[in-house]
Structure 1
């Protein structure tokens, strides 16, 4: 699980986002990073029992994103992220397709699952699958546990108008406008130290499996 000291490191980093402070507190960073890698290992163990595409022997170090920011083309020149990110797929954080992302950040921790900003061919395939099998899609996203943990799909990445080839009165118009097909589940900080957290994670991941399978089948 994620320790309180890891969250404390992230809080202090957000207040002191500079290279001098980071260098002075490098041991705390190393401890926090190891804690996150251990947590990633537990996530992989849970997910591999639920999702057959996730290998049980996936190296957790390959799933944890670097904390260093790429500031070359950014107006924000702070050198470090104020969170730890974990990407889980058949190839860890580097995968082109539906996958999982877990963010560890004070006040903004969450689980995300789905296909974020897929390329044109994959985007068309997902929209076509929703168009062809809308009743199956509806059944998946309306299941009680799915709605309990995720609500509905994120609408942050969405077209203002209908994509070409679909009527404006299509029954799934709001989903066909999406450019990313992801769902989010918020995690309260205190949950990371809860003894039943792994059991909770298992339920959260199980509830999203039909959605992930739908995306995999659409782009297979």
Structure 2
């Protein structure tokens, strides 16, 4: 008998809705066992299954599940918002060699209001931003072709992040790539209802979007990664 694909239970959805209303340590600590069983364990199982699929189309972004899973705890040291917990359980697949930077990768989160599936570069560092813009100035036609793919547009939408109002320094105002150079982030995302997380089709919904977005991630990472073989993870 075939095993059911990893997904979350209705109890997980109930926990996330409760956390949204009761974002405090006392509430969380009395229910930590529920978090470990209904949120953390299924997340690691889901990541493992996604990793297996990604070996086919984005092996450079496959990471150990414990590194992909994001902490539920917020860093509140320098924030005026002292709520201790995030309102979603996230996962981030960084590219090999860019784990400690903001290079291109794949993202998923499950929360009380929605499921988010995304891929691209969200907060590049200053040097990365310049490198990506220089790369896109040369490869702008390829980037547009990828973004305008009929299949991609049926599954994902382009980021609507803030853009510059004038050409970035060092680039000609009449550059044919200017629409892309004005961006501060590049990528695509999809927002699904939270109920999508509680069905066995969750894995399929994530993988098919990651796969169609993989060429965009690879193009954005091209100027950021060294061309050297990667050590095997397993």
Give the gaps of 5 or more residues in structure 2. Answer: 1-6, 226-234
| Structure 1 residue ranges without an equivalent (≥5) | none
Q: Does 1:21 align with 2:27?
A: yes
Q: Name the structure 2 match of 1:167.
A: 172
Residue in structure 2 matched with residue 54 of structure 1 by the alignment: 61
Contact 2:46 2:203 in 1 (8 A): no
Matches within 5 A, 1:32-51: 32-51=39-58
Query: d(CA) in 1 for partners of 2:224 and 2:78?
Result: 32
Q: 2:88 aligns with which of 83, 89, 102?
A: 83
Greater shift, 207-216 or 40-49, is seen at 40-49
The answer (yes or no) to whether the contact 1:64–1:85 under 8 Å persists in 2 is yes
Question: CA deviation digits over 1:52-82, x for unaligned, max 9?
Answer: 2134xx4212211111111111111111111
Query: Which residue is equivalent to 2:230?
Result: none
- Matched-pair contact (CA < 8 Å) for 1:115–1:215: yes
Aligned to 1:102: 108
| Residues 171-186 of structure 1: pairs in structure 2 closer than 5 A | 171-186=176-191
Within the candidate set 157, 160, 185, 1:151 is matched to 157
SS in 2 for 1:133: helix
User: Residues 147 and 95 (structure 1 numbering): CA distance in 2 closer, same or farther, change over 3 Å?
Assistant: farther
Higher mean C-alpha deviation, range 197-206 or range 104-113:
197-206
What aligned pairs does 1:102-121 form with structure 2 within 5 A after superposition? 102-121=108-127
1:135 aligned to 130, 141, 161, which one? 141
Q: 1:91 to 1:68 in 2, by over 3 A?
A: farther
**2:95 and 2:172 mapped to 1: Cα distance?**
36
Output the TM-score relative to the length of structure 1.
Answer: 0.88
Aligned length: 217
Instruction: Tell me which of the two structures has the higher relative contact order, counting C-alpha pairs closer than 8 angstroms and 6 or more residues apart.
Output: 2
The answer as to whether partners of 1:127 and 1:176 remain within 8 angstroms in 2 is: yes
For the aligned residue pairs, the C-alpha RMSD in angstroms reads 2.1
